């Protein structure tokens, strides 16, 4: 399909991503020491006897004559939510496969993992690939959230791959998708069917990272997109001199996006879920933290500001988490509750079933938020956090507290608030130079791991705060990143999520500067839109988070 393109798209299509030196010619592998999982070693090894303990791999330039590799076919899957740069992973994979052997073929499974199971695919030829270079989105083959967990799914995959002559599958996804990729790799080794599986680290939430994976792709572009919007709002607030903007940012399990956007834009308040949990803060204490800043700025004649709120904040407030868990248990397949008519009847029913402490908290919530907490659950039986308008909850509670202070003359300002939620605005943005380069390198790396016969690995590219030519490409065994966690009442192997490290340099920087950012005398930072052409310090820089994390390394 030929697409109509904007002038910027045309220019970006011609952009040639930068790569590590090791990927620019013939490649060989250097293996390190054997590895073990980050936790629960015995359990993980028992579940993955064939892929446990494999070494970390580094790709290095090959000396001597090029090695001839017999032609092979590869399948690729986009799994889970979109993230900027996914198309470049596929483009990098395609280009490297063709360099390894021009007869190699790449097939894209349509609509995510279900495409493999159901045999829905399309061959990705050069004409198709060229339409998607350096573009955002996952529309080249589509994505999906089907989990590859059942033996029947695995066996269907074998049948489809054999029909297409596919030697390896590349799964581009987050922690759950890459966990499933490792399960698939283990099964295919047990069955001795000759199909390799390689993963690529994707999620804009930024929680797929560890000592080996410095960042997941898409995080850089998404945060720069959100930070531009926040900067625009701050410029408007500073111009109009009114409105407090409560901005909720995507990121249920961790606050990486909120933290990175704060580092880029310097808002007046940035809440970090992990800090709220660590300090055992109540909802009222969170509100009071905001109120103190609102009052201080009002006393200086400034009745405006910006507040960043992580999407998953409400689940990190210990008392709220207890309430939500009680609601999850109460509402699981509860036909009695479902049969009730009217919000008041449902509210009274809920109050009658909660413990005393949770009931008091539930009663204190605005009715709209209390209702959102009892809406339909997700497939796992959990509250759908993205539907809880935490920013509106905080606005209402701050308003109520300010009214109390006004009555005692402790607050004399004016409070008008606007609410925002930024999520989908960043998931399919045109990738930054960093993500375009990083993703293209990841795709190239995956191709070389396949050519070397590797399976159960995640492609990695490290040293990311250096120029791209100095990046280090390789592979890390997925089992190295795993631990056991309770899922649906059972202990299962999963890649360990990375939360914001309260002892890490990025959070420490926030903690050291947030009082200044709340101060009326300090102006905001306006990051502006993503730049693609110009000086490297403007166009090629990674996230502030990554630069702070690597500053002492």
Taking 70 as the threshold, does the pLDDT of residue 380 lie above it?
no
Higher pLDDT: 431 or 381? It is: 431
Q: What are the structural domains, with CATH classification, of the chain?
A: 19-60+71-218+433-487 (3.40.50.450), 243-415+503-522 (3.40.50.460)
108-138 burial code (b ≥16 CB/10 A, e <16):
bbbbbbbbbbbbbbeebeeebbebbbbbbbb
State the chain's mean pLDDT as an integer: 94
Tokens of 193: 């069917």
Q: Which residues are catalytic?
A: 205
Tokens of 41: 């070693």
Phi/psi region, residue 119 (left: phi>0; alpha: psi -120 to 50; beta: rest), is left
Q: What percent of the chain has pLDDT over 90?
A: 84
Output the pLDDT for position 102.
96
Taking 60 as the threshold, does the pLDDT of residue 553 lie above it?
no
- What are the pLDDT digits (tens) for 464-504? 999 999 999 999 999 999 999 987 678 999 999 999 999 99
- Which helix (H) or strand (E) covers residue 505, if one does? helix 505-518
Q: What is the Cα 350 distance to its own chain's centre?
A: 34
Tokens of 205: 């939430």
Split at pLDDT 50, 70, 90, the class of 381 is low
Output the pLDDT for position 552.
65
Taking 90 as the threshold, does the pLDDT of residue 372 lie above it?
no
Can you tell me whether residue 426 is helix, strand or coil?
helix
Q: Which of 54-58, 67-71, 86-90, 148-152 has the lowest mean pLDDT?
A: 67-71
Mean pLDDT of 265-294: 97
- What are the pLDDT digits (tens) for 164-174? 999 999 999 99
Q: Residues, the chain, total?
A: 553
CA distance 336 to 334: 5
The CA-atom distances, in angstroms, between 247 and each of 216, 237, 287 are 23, 13, 15
User: Which pTM value belongs to this model?
Assistant: 0.94
Split at pLDDT 50, 70, 90, the class of 351 is very high
- What are the pLDDT digits (tens) for 108-133? 999 999 999 999 999 999 999 999 99
- Which residues lie closer than 8 Å to 466 by C-beta, 6 or more apart? none
Can you tell me whether residue 449 is helix, strand or coil?
helix
Split at pLDDT 50, 70, 90, the class of 375 is confident
Pairing of strands 243-249, 417-422: parallel
CA distance 475 to 457: 6
User: Which residue reads 């001199």 in tokens?
Assistant: 241
């Amino acid at each position: 399909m030929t697409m109509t393109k904007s002038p910027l798209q045309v220019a970006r299509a011609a952009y040639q991503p930068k790569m590590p030196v090791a990927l620019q010619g013939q490649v060989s592998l250097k293996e390190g020491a054997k590895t073990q999982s980050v936790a629960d070693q015995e359990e993980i090894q028992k579940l993955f006897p064939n892929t446990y303990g494999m070494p970390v791999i580094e790709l290095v330039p090959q000396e001597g004559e090029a090695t001839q590799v017999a032609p092979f076919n590869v399948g690729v899957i986009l799994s889970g939510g979109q993230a900027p740069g996914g198309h470049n992973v596929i483009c990098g994979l395609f280009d490297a496969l063709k360099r390894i052997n021009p007869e190699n073929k790449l097939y894209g499974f349509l609509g995510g993992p279900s495409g493999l199971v159901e045999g829905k695919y399309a061959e990705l030829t050069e004409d198709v690939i060229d339409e998607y270079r350096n573009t955002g989105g996952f529309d080249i083959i589509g994505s999906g959230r089907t989990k590859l967990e059942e033996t029947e799914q695995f066996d269907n995959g074998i049948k489809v791959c054999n029909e297409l002559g596919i030697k390896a599958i590349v799964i581009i996804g987050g922690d759950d998708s890459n966990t499933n990729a490792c399960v698939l790799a283990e099964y295919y080794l047990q069955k001795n069917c000759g199909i390799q599986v390689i993963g690529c680290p994707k999620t804009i939430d930024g929680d797929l990272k560890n000592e080996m994976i410095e960042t997941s792709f898409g995080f850089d572009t998404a945060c720069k997109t959100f930070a531009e919007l926040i900067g625009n709002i701050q410029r408007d607030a500073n111009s109009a001199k009114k409105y407090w903007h409560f901005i909720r940012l995507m990121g249920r399990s961790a606050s990486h996006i909120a933290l990175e956007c704060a580092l880029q834009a310097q808002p007046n308040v940035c809440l970090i879920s992990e800090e709220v949990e660590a300090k055992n803060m109540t909802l009222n204490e969170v509100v009071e933290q905001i109120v103190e800043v609102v009052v201080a700025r009002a006393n200086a004649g400034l009745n405006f500001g910006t507040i960043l709120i992580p999407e998953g904040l409400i689940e990190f407030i210990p008392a709220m988490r207890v309430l939500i868990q009680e609601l999850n248990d109460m509402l699981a397949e509860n036909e009695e509750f479902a049969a009730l008519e009217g919000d008041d009847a449902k509210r009274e029913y809920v109050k009658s079933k909660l413990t005393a402490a949770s009931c008091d908290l539930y009663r204190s919530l605005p009715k709209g938020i209390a209702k959102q907490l009892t809406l339909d659950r997700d497939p796992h039986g959990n509250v759908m956090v993205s539907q809880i308008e935490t920013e509106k909850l905080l606005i209402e509670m701050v308003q109520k507290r300010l009214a109390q202070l006004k009555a005692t003359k402790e607050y004399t300002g004016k409070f008008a608030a606007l609410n925002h939620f930024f999520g989908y605005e960043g998931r399919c943005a045109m990738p930054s130079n960093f993500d375009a380069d990083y993703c293209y390198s990841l795709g190239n790396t995956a191709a070389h791991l396949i050519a070397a016969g590797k399976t159960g690995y995640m492609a990695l590219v490290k040293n990311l705060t250096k120029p791209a030519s100095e990046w280090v490409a390789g592979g890390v065994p997925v089992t190295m990143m795993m631990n056991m966690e309770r899922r649906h009442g059972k202990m299962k192997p999963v890649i360990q999520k990375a939360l914001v490290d309260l002892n890490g340099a990025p959070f420490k920087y926030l903690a050291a500067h947030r009082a200044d950012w709340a101060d009326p005398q300090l102006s905001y930072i306006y990051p502006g839109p993503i730049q693609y052409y110009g000086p490297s310090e403007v166009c090629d820089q990674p996230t502030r988070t990554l630069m702070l994390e690597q500053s002492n390394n």
